[in-house]
Amino acid sequence: MVDTLARSAQDIGAGITTSSKRARFWLLTVAAVDVLLVISSMVALNAALPDIAVQTSASQTQLTWIVDGYTLVLACLLLPAGALGDRYGRRGALLVGLAIFAVASLSPTIFDSPVQIIIARAAAGIGAAFIMPATLSLLTAAFPKSERNKAVGIWAGVASSGAIFGFMGTGLLLRYFSWESIFYGFAAAALALFIATCTISSSRDETATPLDWVGAVLIGAAVAVFVFGVVEAPVRGWTHPVVWSCMSAGVVLAAAFAVVELRRKHPLLDVRLFSRPDFATGSVGITFLFFANFGFFFVAMEYMQLILGYSSLQTALALTPLAVPIMVLGATMHLYLPKVGLRVAVTLGLL
């Protein structure tokens, strides 16, 4: 995925950009729903945590890791999993990710202790790490330059509204079934998407360089220990030695990753890209956007359910209108972005 983004101005993947319009539309549909599954899975369990706590006797720390174990593993493996897909085939990476995700999602319906659920969610994160970057790389390779912004805009709009769809699906399931139904739903969706993914064209980077395993280990470790510190902070306190030492270690490992990548002939991520204002601004902007979005959803959901007394379904319905502008603006990005410019669009979005 990194290779793809770095060459976004070029007509990459020329081997499949000649596919028919119908084939590209089907590819966009499958890729968008694939990434929707990944994003919705990040938040879907929040509404089910009270039921999980009662039935499994999970502690507050265990409940936190049931939710965050998935995201942590996804963040750690996103870069290397994307690089593997670029090198050995993006559709293959998607299929591997969906298979892992489906099996991992079924596991909590059989092994239902808190620790086993945490392990299953972490395994699902491995699958998600293969799915998410492969969807974007497939789109940028399949669509010609003239249509690429539109396709990526739709992909981004669906991904950004994934949390809303996750809440909605969870609310509907919890209204009629137990919390295990969420995992059955994930597994069924992954299986259906596995079948659909078999029908799309594949691509890979024909000029791919050897994978930088040292860089992959360093960035994975940096993300893991830093996020571990952040997740443990509400439980242990921000001044706890474990918290600040993990966060400090994460920063040190990230710095080591940058130094190593600067010296690599074939880096996993060319950190020089961050010297480009557009790349650096986009990276920082999307980071703050995710912080704000998921922070808002977490607080808003807790407020609606615990203070206002909303059910899971009512909470999902109350948040649903947020998905409308996200999807509309994402799908029409190719129309207004050339007119207003990237700087104005990003500034207004962050405001």
Predicted confidence (pLDDT) per residue in 47-88, tens digit:
788 788 888 888 878 888 888 899 889 988 988 899 898 888
pLDDT at 248 over 80: yes
Summarize pLDDT for 192-225 with one digit per residue, the tens. Answer: 999 999 999 888 877 767 788 898 899 989 988 9
Query: Mean pLDDT, to the nearest integer, of 99-113?
Result: 90
Give the model's pLDDT for residue 96.
96
The pLDDT assigned to 17 comes to 52
Burial class (CB in 10 A: 0-12, 13-18, 19+), 193: buried
pLDDT tier at 305, thresholds 50, 70, 90:
confident
Q: What is the pLDDT of residue 231?
A: 80
Question: In the chain, what is the straight-line distance between the N-terminal and C-terminal CA atoms, in Å?
Answer: 28
Residue 122's pLDDT is 94
pTM over the 0.75 mark: yes
Please state the domain extents for the chain. Answer: 19-211+268-350
Cα–Cα dist 62/75, whole Å: 19
Which is more confidently placed, 306 or 18? 306
Q: Are 292 and 113 in contact (CB under 8 A)?
A: no
* H-assigned helices in the chain: 2-6, 21-43, 49-56, 60-88, 90-106, 114-142, 145-160, 162-176, 180-197, 213-236, 241-263, 277-302, 312-319, 323-331, 333-340, 342-350
Question: What's the mean pLDDT in 331-344?
Answer: 76
Query: What pLDDT is attached to residue 301?
Result: 77
19-211+268-350: in CATH 1.20.1250.20: yes
Cβ atoms within 10 Å, residue 293: 15
In this prediction, residue 16 carries a pLDDT of 52
In the predicted structure, residue 2 carries a pLDDT above the cut 70: no
Residue 251 pLDDT > 60, yes or no? yes
